[in-house]
């Protein structure tokens, strides 16, 4: 059901990124191209990794896209889950849990001590799902982001 993504999966991953962006009410912000995803996942120096959830008949049901982070407090890497998405018609079939289980397995196998991600505060179905797995919200932290004009201004 879960396998490592291959270059042939890039069009499906790209399509699901756009589906996720639409679900999160931010389709206009999803500007990544298939070429950019291919380079990030399979280029000379991959910066991200992906796993695919498949149905029994080989249909792509969902994906997880992640990268390594590092905890200065724990002194080891962890996984930051950038996107977890299961197509609406495939939800409830265990694909999301299987994807998270695979990432947790990778963490345990490699000695990583954290598996982290963000979720929109209005996304109650996802929050309930994550809590059912034992995930705890980090409510004391606020995410900050620099993009576009503010990033350019600071970096120039």
Annotated catalytic sites, by residue? 130
Report the b/e string of 50-88 with b at 16+ CB within 10 A.
bbbbbeeeeebbbbbbbeeeeeeeeeebbbbbebbbbbe
Which residues, listed in sequence order, are joined to residue 67 by a DSSP beta bridge?
80
Neighbours of 103 (CB within 10 A): 20
């Amino acid at each position: 059901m879960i396998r490592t993504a291959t270059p042939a999966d890039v069009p499906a991953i790209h399509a699901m990124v756009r589906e996720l962006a639409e679900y999160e009410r931010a389709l206009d912000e999803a500007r990544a191209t298939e070429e950019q995803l291919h380079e990030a996942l399979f280029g000379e120096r991959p910066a991200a990794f992906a796993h695919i959830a498949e149905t029994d008949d080989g249909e792509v049901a969902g994906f997880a896209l992640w990268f390594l982070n590092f905890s200065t407090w724990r002194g080891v890497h962890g996984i930051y889950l950038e996107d977890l998405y299961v197509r609406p018609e495939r939800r409830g079939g265990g694909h999301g849990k299987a994807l998270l289980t695979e990432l947790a397995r990778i963490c345990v196998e490699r000695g990583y001590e954290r598996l982290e991600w963000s979720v929109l505060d209005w996304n109650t179905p996802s929050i309930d799902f994550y809590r059912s797995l034992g995930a705890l919200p980090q409510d004391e932290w606020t995410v900050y982001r620099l993009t576009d004009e503010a990033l350019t201004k600071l970096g120039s």
